[in-house]
Amino acid sequence: MSAVRCFIGLGSNLGDPLANLHSALAQLAGCQGITLRGVSRFYSSKPMGPKDQPDYINAVAAVDTVLDAHAVLQMLFVVERAHGRVRDAALRWGARTLDLDLLLYADAIITDMDLCVPHPGICERSFVILPLLDLAPCLVLPNGKSLHQCRAALACDDLKPLV
């Protein structure tokens, strides 16, 4: 299998979020079958879910991989668990040490019980679109929308780039 380009969303709002993201990126870069190709700027964002939690630090990583999409997802779960993440369906959108999402797997559209790619709601989340624009400004999503079209529909006033 030849390598495909994937984009992985990263977020953290517990412990030391910046250190959590740097550590997760280092762990991803060390995974067999993964080559880290780039990382967006880091952004501070308000939480999507309950408002009584700290702000998030978000970024997106571009990776090339020879792994299939489900294997990438399982690898992301391993990295999350290594950072103390406990997945609990009852705490959806709650505070977390690390959240890793497979946003895009080349131009694949995958919808099954375990995985949905492109990630649902990708165009409604400024904390995904702005970092994606940092990495791939000419990217067109599998649905035919460009990142710039998605960006134009978002306020993005809740996002602050970190220097």
The reported pLDDT for the residue numbered 77 is 94
CB count, 10 Å around CB of 157?
Answer: 8
Q: What are the pLDDT digits (tens) for 64-107?
A: 999 999 999 999 999 999 998 776 655 666 678 899 999 999 99
Residues classed as catalytic: 85, 96, 99, 101
The reported pLDDT for the residue numbered 96 is 85
The domain 4-161 is placed in CATH, from the list 1.10.2020.10, 3.30.70.560, 3.60.21.10, 3.30.300.250, at 3.30.70.560
Six token digits for residue 126 = 């400024």
Q: In Å, how far are 13, 61, 109, 115 from 17, measured between CA atoms?
A: 5, 16, 31, 25
| Residue corresponding to tokens 């993440």 | 85
Per-residue pLDDT band at 155 (split at 50, 70, 90): confident
3-state secondary structure at position 36: strand
Q: What are the pLDDT digits (tens) for 9-62?
A: 999 999 999 999 999 999 999 999 999 999 999 999 998 877 788 999 999 999
Residue type, 49: G
Residue type, 109: I
Residue 133: pLDDT over 90: yes
Q: Is the pTM of this model over 0.75?
A: yes
Question: What are 12's strand-pairing partners?
Answer: 57
Where along the chain do its domains lie? 4-161
**Mean pLDDT, residues 105-130 taken together:** 94
Write 157-160 long-range contacts (CB < 8 A, 24+). Answer: 158/45, 158/46, 158/126, 159/43, 159/44, 159/45, 159/126, 159/127, 159/130, 160/43, 160/44, 160/45
Contacts of 92 (CB under 8 A, 6+ apart): 49
